Amino acid sequence: MNENFGEPTDSEVDELYARLDREAKQGGYFLNREAEFVKGLVRGLLINERRYGYRACPCRLAADDKQQDLDIICPCYYRDADLSEFGACYCALYVSAAVLKGEKELSCIPERRPPFESRAAKPGSSGASLDAVPAKLSVPVWRCLVCGYLCGREGPPEVCPICKAGRERFERFI
């Protein structure tokens, strides 16, 4: 854990906030409308980036091991399911259109991430089976574990074009 870092400055917070907002909109997602609330979370993301080297979820305890924490790098693997079920991600950084428009109220979201013991066995991948594929594919299909984006190519892209997740957060789907 790197402890020799300064507090994120207001301009760093504003810069990342603007970037996340832009990327969210491009991908069809929405950030929470409460700017001060979001800035608090963005500050937490910047602190975690300095501490651990990656933007671990500010509302979860990071292990200081990127491999173990791949699922909770923001946006996390659980965001889409929580958006569908509760109208917000675990932190409420991302919200659904209904929550954004005030048609649905936010409630406390239970932790969807499996406990450590059951997590260790399967590092994020669902282990797709090749048996169900009817024809031989010319290239494998890769799936973004954050947003579900699929692409057929030799290897996963450097960065997901939809949600900006890094290539290490893709699984071979078919």
Partner 1 sequence: MNFEHVAGEEKGKITLYALSTCIWCKRTRELLMALGVSFDYIYVDLLKGEDRSKAIEQVKHYNPSTSFPTLVIGDKSIVGFREKEIREALG
Contact range with partner 1 by CB under 8 A, out of 36-44, 74-82, 130-138, 147-155: 36-44
Asked whether the beta carbons of 128 and 174 are under 8 A apart, the reply is yes
* Size of interface with partner 1, in residues (CB under 8 A): 21
- Residue 166 DSSP symbol: B
Residue type (1 letter), 13:
V
5 binds partner 1 (CB under 8 A): no
State which H helix or E strand residue 93 sits in. Answer: none
Asked whether the beta carbons of 96 and 75 are under 8 A apart, the reply is no
Minimum separation from the CB atom of position 41 to partner 1 (A): 6
Tokens 């832009």 found at? 22
Beta bridge partners of 172: 142
C-alpha–C-alpha distance, residues 103 and 69, integer Å: 33
170 token code pair: 């893709």
Q: Lay out the site mask for partner 1 across 81-120 (x = CB under 8 A, - = otherwise).
A: ----------x----------------xxxx-x-xx----
44 binds partner 1 (CB under 8 A): yes
141 binds partner 1 (CB under 8 A): no
Residue choice 24, 30, 60, 96 for contact with partner 1 (CB under 8 A): 60
C-alpha–C-alpha distance, residues 114 and 118, integer Å: 6
Minimum separation from the CB atom of position 73 to partner 1 (A): 14
Q: What angle do CA 86, 90, 93 make, to 5 degrees?
A: 95
Residue choice 15, 21, 27, 47 for contact with partner 1 (CB under 8 A): 47
Minimum separation from the CB atom of position 118 to partner 1 (A): 11
Q: Which residues bind partner 1 (CB under 8 A)?
A: 1, 37, 40-41, 43-44, 47-48, 58-62, 91, 108-111, 113, 115-116
